[in-house]
Amino acid sequence: MSGRVELVWIGDDAPAYDHGASHPLRPARVTLTRELIRACGLLDAPDVVEVPGRDATNRELALIHAPAYLDAVRRAGHGEAGPWWEHGFGPGDNPVFPGMHEASARVAGSSLVAAEAVLSGRARHAFNPAGGLHHAMPARASGFCVYDDPALAIAWLLAGGAARVAYVDVDVHHGDGPDAIFAADPRVLTISLHQDGRTLFPGTGFVGDRGTGDGEGTAVNVPLPPGTGDGGWLRAFEEVVPPLVEAFAPDVLVTQLGCDTHHLDPLAGLVLTTAAYRRAAAVLHDLAHRCAGGRWVATGGGGYQWARVVPRAWTTYFAEMVGTEVADELPASWLARASALPGIGGGGDLPTRFSEPSVEPSGDHAAVAGVLAEVRASIFGFHGLPG
């Protein structure tokens, strides 16, 4: 396998995946991430390249999405009238926007470019920061997500010859799309660490939701209480993810790297700092090499402090993929560019460093320990691990 690492850029010609100016999912977060990666010199490292994304074809999208849904997305985005609410569209989370199919197909196709790079051996790791739209279902949009690119990448990898795929989702919201789509498929291990669904959208992802039929035990959900900080979250991550991924022995590791777990994020209640992302990146990198032959497909995900948090978080992950440690101080050129944008991620001055002061969590450590005990008792035995 090549030692190459690829950053997949959706392309300057891509129709904007943009729900509107008042929507919390801001396209600028992806552009700012790319610019910070560049400003930190990560694309100048040996064997690191930026590659263009592409559109997913209808045939590829149909690996997980219903043809009638694909038709509805296209027609809605072209301004046709219809009962689009039947497919999850309408005011609020999932408004129809112009070019919706084309923009969504480019995001999904860019995750397929990452999957192609890794499965073919062209690259060791590949990252599509525009991806990670993990709430979309086969026939319904949900949670800002039109096409489920992480699930599509997994389905494409299986169709292309991968025997087993492990999916790790660290978004603050339950990774319900891949969980549901592969619930009965024993070839796919899905692990989602998220804020407890009793307190946050989409209201799913409980420990007892562990897959069905032949896939029972391959859906792993770790619902954490609001207020969980770096210590509790990292304990949950390290006690659950490495042993299960190692026991599953996947051919490819796929990750969704949502950073809406951050203490500044306006849409959720976990209180992580960038220190947790740095540690999670190192653990995932080690797992990719130890358990999946180095094959790591990464996508972005949630994150609604789009200037203050998201670029730092995803650049931290990409630096780990590249194997380079960036200077703690953010580049002045990037700060000047980001500071010139209106409404920089919720107001206030931009941080000037990747690192940040620790936050004293209000979460209940005993509650985290209880969740972990429940996960071990419910799941570990399916993988030959002690509960």
Give the SS3 label for residue 99: coil
CA 124/CA 294 separation, integer angstroms: 6
CA dist., res. 44 & res. 28, Å (int)? 23
Cis peptide before 202 (omega within 30 of 0): yes
As a whole number of angstroms, the distance between CA 180 and CA 126 comes to 25
DSSP string computed for 20-32:
-TTSS--THHHHH
For the chain, give the number of residues.
Answer: 387
- Identify the three-state secondary structure at position 95: coil
Indicate the residue type of 93: D
Residue 234 carries which DSSP code?
Answer: H
Q: What is the DSSP letter of 45?
A: S
- Catalytic site residue 263? no
Catalytic residue among 19, 125, 135, 194: 135
Please state the separation of Cα 155 from the chain's center in Å: 16
Torsion from C-alpha of 312, 8, 287, 218, nearest 10 degrees:
110
Q: Compute the distance between CA of residue 109 and CA of residue 276 in angstroms, rounded to an integer.
A: 29
Residue 232 to residues 93, 278, 295, 371, Cα–Cα distance (Å): 30, 15, 28, 11
Please, are residues 134 and 256 in contact by the beta-carbon 8 Å criterion? yes
Question: CA 372 to CA 365: how far, in whole Å?
Answer: 11
Catalytic (active-site) positions: 135
